[in-house]
Structure 1
Amino acid sequence: MLAETGYAGFTIEQVARRAGAGKPTIYRWWSGKPALLVEIYARQPFDMSETNTGSLENDLAAALRKLLGFWRDTPAGEALTALLVEAQQDPAALETLRAFLVERSFPVAELFARAARRGELVADFDAATGLDLVNGYVWARLLTRRLDDEAANLAAAARLIARGCLRA
């Protein structure tokens, strides 16, 4: 339904109607629209295999390709976009988003952890800031519907992000 009607048409009332259920039934399972959006996202299988290339730059490029493709090819992209929009207006949605991001940041955080184990990262590297850099790039792509980026553009972005994190 989110793909059909977009964020504006995605309401608990519409979900209940489509499911042939009452709103109380929906609320019994999900506390509200943000929780339902997280559920939609979380149910999409996401595979970050084949992102261990031996260097942070190449790992990031592979991860960017997989993540943007995931958002483009599954309902996850619409769900996350809707949650990001909702979080700008609703403090409860913002809390839901923040909790979700802590839980879902592991695959990208693992790229930085591997780079650290390989000795690639600067001594004062901050993983949270590295994640923010990646998230900023991919969310800009998601929110402006630029999910079909060419491999060369993703490689350039990965190079710029990685070079700020690498030892000289």
Structure 2
Amino acid sequence: MENVCFSIRDAKPDDCPILMKMITELTVFEGTEKELENTTERLQKDIFEPEKMASCLVATYKRPENDKSEVIGYCLFYYGYSIMKGKLVYMVNLYITEEFRGRGYGRSLMKKVAQDAVGKGCQRMQWTVLGWNQPAIKLYQSINSIDLTATRNCHVHTLYKEQLVQFANS
């Protein structure tokens, strides 16, 4: 991974147009673009208003040829609660633009969320993945996530405390 060129930061309100563009790309990739009803304005409200519903980290890449940083991916997540385990973080989306996939940037974004979750006392990290998305499934398997269900062709993964700490500290 080109650490000099890659970084992670909290999303800012002016990132919302590019985030919405990437969300649209994701729905096309998943074949769910007809279901997309979200807007840039709603996304901005839901992430940045005082009663925010989610948090977002962005991955940026600075191209050496022009020294300009661009947003190349994001991780949208929120904190919740499990009656079985207590505090948890739920990863809504992890997305890296096609040009930058396969370089470890998605894993880095996910790891940052895991580290923050451990710092907040979370006992679990959870997400879903479409059954046909093999690159994502391989990533999740590589960090020792547990596939909780395969009954709807939508796999629910989690990192229980031990795996969450192990991943965050790896």
TM-score by length of 2: 0.30
Greater strand percent: which structure? 2
Rg bigger for which structure? 1
Greater helix percent: which structure? 1
Q: Which has the higher contact order (CA 8 A, sep 6+)?
A: 1
